[in-house]
């Protein structure tokens, strides 16, 4: 069952859970989930988790009843406003044969650091839910980032310090709106995938 199907058919069932964790990496589905969450923020927190290229950086964003929504930190096409790393646009992407998706390769070892961090945030939020949103970040080895042609962003330098060699976790604030979603009055009723053409405008 696709994420959008769940949102269409089961979205109100989400009110019966303690916490929602989304690591879909699908902007259409997570955008719809964000719209739904804007109407139910007092009920539960939502955690979004993702990796950046080569899994040498990643974040967990806790969206709570105070602070910005998901769209405050993501642009209208699903890109992070404050990424931790940057990569040359000319760098060759790998292609997934079965679906023609493009990606930059990484393995389980690199991914483990990000998934471990996200898991720790999930446990922390189940034990003591935050009343204000935040972002937890992992930045891997800077020498490895540079060897693969990337660099950490000036924003990442601010949160980890200019002298870091990487392999570090750091807290930061999630951007706070009002953005194009949480700054506008929300519609009544559940968001469905049929509304995405309106939501994504």
**Mean pLDDT for the chain?**
81
Encode burial over 146-170: b for 16+ CB neighbours within 10 A, e otherwise.
eebebebbeebeebbeeeeebebeb
pLDDT, position 186: 39
Q: CATH fold of 3-189, please?
A: Rossmann fold (3.40.50)
- Report the alpha-carbon distance of residue 56 to residue 104 in Å, rounded: 11
Q: What confidence category does residue 36 fall into, taking pLDDT thresholds of 50, 70 and 90?
A: confident
| Strand, helix or coil for residue 44 | coil
Q: Residue 197: pLDDT above 50?
A: no
Lowest-pLDDT range, 51-55, 113-117, 159-163, 193-197? Answer: 193-197
Mean pLDDT to the nearest integer, 103-108: 68
pLDDT, position 189: 32
Q: What are the residue ranges spanned by the domains of the chain?
A: 3-189
- Report the alpha-carbon distance of residue 5 to residue 106 in Å, rounded: 29
pLDDT, position 88: 85
DSSP state of 56: S
**Strand order across the beta sheet in which 134-139 lies:** 19-22, 45-51, 57-63, 134-139, 168-172
* Residue 34: closest CA among 96, 94, 76, 90: 76
Residues near 57 by Cβ (< 8 Å), separated by ≥ 6? Answer: 51, 83, 84, 85, 114, 137, 138, 139, 140, 145, 152, 156
pLDDT, position 19: 93
Lowest-pLDDT range, 6-15, 74-83, 97-106, 144-153? Answer: 97-106
Q: Residue 198: pLDDT above 70?
A: no
Helices then strands, counting H and E runs in the chain, come out as 6, 9
């Amino acid at each position: 069952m696709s994420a959008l199907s769940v949102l269409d058919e089961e979205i109100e069932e989400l009110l019966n859970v303690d916490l929602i964790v989304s690591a879909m990496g699908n902007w259409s589905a997570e955008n719809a989930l964000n719209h739904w969450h804007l109407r139910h923020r007092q009920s539960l927190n939502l955690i979004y988790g993702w990796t950046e290229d080569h899994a040498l950086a990643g974040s967990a964003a806790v969206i709570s009843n105070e602070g910005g929504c998901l769209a405050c930190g993501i642009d209208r096409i699903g890109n992070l406003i404050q990424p931790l790393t940057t990569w040359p646009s000319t760098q060759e992407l790998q292609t997934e044969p079965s679906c023609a998706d493009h990606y930059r390769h990484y393995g389980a070892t690199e991914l483990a650091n990000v998934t471990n961090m996200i898991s720790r945030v999930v446990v922390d939020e189940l034990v003591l839910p935050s009343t204000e949103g935040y972002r937890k970040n992992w930045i891997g080895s800077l020498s490895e980032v540079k060897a693969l042609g990337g660099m950490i962003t000036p924003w990442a330098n601010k949160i980890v310090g200019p002298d870091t060699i990487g392999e570090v976790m750091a807290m930061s604030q999630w951007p706070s709106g009002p953005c194009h979603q949480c700054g506008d009055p929300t519609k009544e009723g559940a968001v469905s995938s049929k509304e995405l053409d309106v939501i994504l405008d």
